[in-house]
A and B are shown apart, each in its own frame.
Chain A
């Protein structure tokens, strides 16, 4: 009933190529955007913004970057964490060298550094595939984290070896650093994430998206329809690492405020990979669903006992959390191995039919 598509006819290819051929999808997105931009900032507490909303957005963005590489172009990568690190360190250096630069510009520029590094570590993909490629990208993980530790120029020769975000102003408002208001940071992250997501949607539904998917589905056939595999794979590495790099810069500048090299180690890579897999490979929306499950749910579960007036030792809560999240991940993967996005697609299909399934 709610999702009935009857009566929605397309009379031009222009209309057929719209982002949402079904009107209800556009409304749904409208509602979500209004919530994200208006309702949530007005309602949410500082804790919720800092612990839930900003990380969900940043992790979703990182997963989006990985999804372009793994879900769309079919190249498995375990170097996401390191590429995020490249973005973060690049942004830190750019801000150090040009303190007056607009933060948006700095973050956009830092993406190019991670893109270049991503392409360099993507070169093995021209020769090797699948798990073997994943191992090759693991080299990025080890090498880059080592570099973050040893190359002291990267962290301005700090005694601590960590990068510390100073206050960064944009148009007279502090957007990053200790003095920044969480709501400002939330809007900043939301803006960047929304724009990048829109770009990613456009790329993946156009020619380049089809080229990537064809390489993923059957690389030999792709070559024989005239696709240059080298270009296709390296462009996927470039775009993916660019987005991952931006996510890394946001990760440090708009959320953590400081970072040590080991923050970008393998666990971060795996976390992003889990989000992409559980959300759904080859889907844009899946990254958000995955991020909500992996990042937000533990935080919400952690606050539950307090809300019910129970006093459980925080260590116990932490353990319970791990168990519940682990069980949920297994549950979702068994119910729908193609991720939450596919689960939603099935629900949506059923809703379109409902209540007359024939």
Chain B
């Protein structure tokens, strides 16, 4: 099984976690950071990332700001107040999920 497939369901939680850690991030930075932390396993494509960011923005989880960077414009995303709560919930759910997975992998610990 491809490891990237395993990341798919957790992508939203990962993106929110990264943005919270960094304060604000732009699309390319998110893809690179995710790749760096996962040791190259998590390759977020633009076709997945930007629709997700725009969905979270429309839901009020993220806010964005377009700022000039060099000769171009760059869109930075940050968590809103509701986004911080959403990120905390997502983080708890993710940890519970990892705990359940470990019980499947090491049934003796359960």
Are A and B genuine complex partners? no
